[in-house]
Structure formats: C-alpha cells, structure tokens
C-alpha cells in the first residue's frame, strides 16, 4: 500500500492524498509536479528513477487506510539534481 506522504521532498509543499500535484518514484519518494518538471526533470532526486503521477486514494478509504503523516524534506538532494 502506498504511504501517501504528506509533502514534497524538495519544496515541502503540502501534497494531500487527494492532490493531483503529487508525483512519486518506485520507492515512493514524493515530489510536487512543479519540482518534478523544473528542478528534477522527471527523475527522482534520490534514486534517479522515473516520477509518475501518484494515484489518489478515495476519500472514504482514507479513514481505514490513512495517508502517512511523516513529512520528508530533503532540499539538498534537489539542489544536487538541478
């Protein structure tokens, strides 16, 4: 099950589970669409893997399967990839 992390690792922008702005790599490193497109050029800052749109979890499922609240913010990795 996806963790649905709460924010972008680059800019720390909020990415709620229903956000269409979230993209993830296969390890679920999580970024916003604008960082993915501009800073990262479609590649994960941590593993170099491709970034794809994160599927949204239906609101009614979030009660039973809540999104992660553990915020990961690693702006250094994003600068290195730029």
Binding residues (CB under 5 A) for Zn ion: these are 8, 10-11, 13, 25, 27, 29, 32, 35, 44, 46-47, 49
**Cβ distance to Zn ion smaller for residue 61 or 73:** 73
Looking at the Cβ atoms of 20 and 61, the one nearer to Zn ion is 20
Report the nearest approach of Zn ion to the CB of residue 55 (Å).
Answer: 17
Beta bridge partners of 50: 43
Exposure string over 29-62, b if 16+ CB within 10 A, otherwise e: bbbbbebbeebbeeebbbeeeebeebeebeeeee
CB of 77 to Zn ion, least distance (A): 9
């Amino acid at each position: 099950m996806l963790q649905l992390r709460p924010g972008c690792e680059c800019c720390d922008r909020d990415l709620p589970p229903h956000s269409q702005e979230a993209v993830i790599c296969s390890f679920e490193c999580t970024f916003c669409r604008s960082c993915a497109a501009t800073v990262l050029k479609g590649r994960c800052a941590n593993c170099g893997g491709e970034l794809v749109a994160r599927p949204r979890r239906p609101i009614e499922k979030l009660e039973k399967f809540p999104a992660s609240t553990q915020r990961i913010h690693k702006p250094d990795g994003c600068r290195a990839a730029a």
